[in-house]
Amino acid sequence: MEISLTNSMTRKKERFVPIDPQNVRMYVCGPTVYDRAHLGNARPAIVFDVLFRLLRHVYGPDHVTYVRNFTDVDDKINARAEASGRSIGEITEETTRWYLEDMGAVGVMEPTQMPRATQYIPQMVAMIEDLITKGNAYEAEGHVLFSVGSYKDYGRLSGRSVDDMIAGARVEVAPYKRDPMDFVLWKPSSRDLPGWDSPWGRGRPGWHIECSAMSYELLGETFDIHGGGNDLLFPHHENEIAQSCCAHPKGGFAKVWMHNEMLQVEGKKMSKSLGNFFTVRDLLDGHDGLPGVPGEVIRFVMLSTHYRKPMDWTAEKAREAEATLRKWRAMVDGTPEAQVPDQVLAALAEDLNTAGAIAELHKLASAGEVSALKAGAGLLGLLSDEMGGWDVVSVDLSGLTERLADARIKAMESKDFSEVDRMKSALIAAGVEVRMSKAGVELVPGTGFDAGKLEGLA
């Protein structure tokens, strides 16, 4: 099976050829653990989970190493600790657990390794020392900074000149910087902040050095794929490349760079000021009087848009996804899994086209090929036993569907719709979505479905 992926570095779709087919290696930037993961955080986790599944399918589960880190030393964490009066360790332990629970709920497999930044401080210090020795970094007032001017290819990933980057970025102005674009590798820590001993005094690492040190330790100086959201492309990934390539000039760091586009909610950027900001847990449990959304539904909606296109989360998409999954689960119930269908595999192998793969699943469902449907969906992390349970309906709605259809026909003749309205109101109150069209009547149980509320219609 030949896989093609769009490489952000070359801006081209390229045939993926692993450095070592026996050891395919991928690194994805993980969360900074200071709060619940918001919906946008789930997109890269789900996207690269599907890529992980595809690579395992093609090269074998034992031949793929996937590393996704946790940033557990950061100024946001420090600020949360100060504001809450809780210890930093307490906060990072709790939020790391939250992240894993919430990502598990949307079907994300745990990566091969999940290093925490605080576990790799000595490796970061060693890399910084090496960069100073090579002339790529310098110490100033207790800080160590990377000299951007020492790396001639800086800006290659983002395609921007240094002047453009200065104009478009929030560059920290500091008197100890030799150049405005130089970035922090190490900074001093006061007694009330986390800190480690170093040749430059007690301090803590800058953000960018973490991923360079951890990827080198776990995957080597050259590995196959580096991924993340496109909000990380500059400056984070640009800085990773600079420091890694200077520290290990004989290596190539990452061969393929992949970036997913951002997420919107109902056509607008997700933000607290617009009132459309919510966490994955908000969606799962329900929020603002809305019922919860099953994790499998969240995953389906996310995968219905290609990773390189902006993804718009809408309530209507969630409703449609739920109806589809309920129908498919009813079809495949008790069906043994077959081989993954070629057409589903081909769609995923073509630049991880999850939307195309779901279109193929619709075709398989229409054709009644239930074993192939189950196997193809399984490769996307859908219709598995682990993701099930939410779709169980304890009552057969076919009788009510017929009654409502009959009542509708009579109402159209008599122009008296009171009985139709009564039935619709009772169904909606019980958590049933009522769909009426020229084709007929369809009743779809929602996530808050309560069969007990239908007793008056029985």
- Residue 390 domain-assigned (yes or no): no
| SS3 of 34-61 | CCCCEHHHHHHHHHHHHHHHHHHHHHCH
Can you give the residue range of the structural domain that contains 371?
263-379
| Same domain? 232 vs 362 | no
In contact, 151 and 246? CB cutoff 8 Å: yes
pLDDT at 55 over 70: yes
| Same domain? 133 vs 279 | no
| Same domain? 10 vs 158 | yes
User: Which CATH number goes with the domain that contains 175?
Assistant: 3.40.50.620
Assign 394 a pLDDT band (cuts: 50, 70, 90): very low
Boundary of a domain, candidates 326, 349, 379: 379
pLDDT single digits (tens) 91-110? 999 999 999 999 999 999 99
pLDDT single digits (tens) 302-340? 999 999 999 999 999 999 999 999 999 989 988 987 899
- Phi and psi (nearest 5°) for 292? -70, 155
In contact, 223 and 19? CB cutoff 8 Å: yes
| Same domain? 133 vs 243 | yes
- Residue 126 domain-assigned (yes or no): yes
| Same domain? 113 vs 13 | yes
| Same domain? 191 vs 128 | yes
Domain tally for the chain?
Answer: 3
User: What's the rounded mean pLDDT across residues 219-246?
Assistant: 97
Boundary of a domain, candidates 236, 260, 284: 260
Boundary of a domain, candidates 227, 260, 293: 260
In contact, 219 and 67? CB cutoff 8 Å: yes
Assign 10 a pLDDT band (cuts: 50, 70, 90): very high
| Same domain? 93 vs 161 | yes
Among residues 105, 39, 109, the alpha carbon closest in space to that of 390 is found at 105
pLDDT single digits (tens) 98-155? 999 999 999 999 999 999 999 999 999 999 999 999 999 999 999 999 999 999 999 9
| Same domain? 310 vs 180 | no
Cα–Cα distance for residue pair 416/303, rounded to 1 Å: 44
- Residue 81 domain-assigned (yes or no): yes
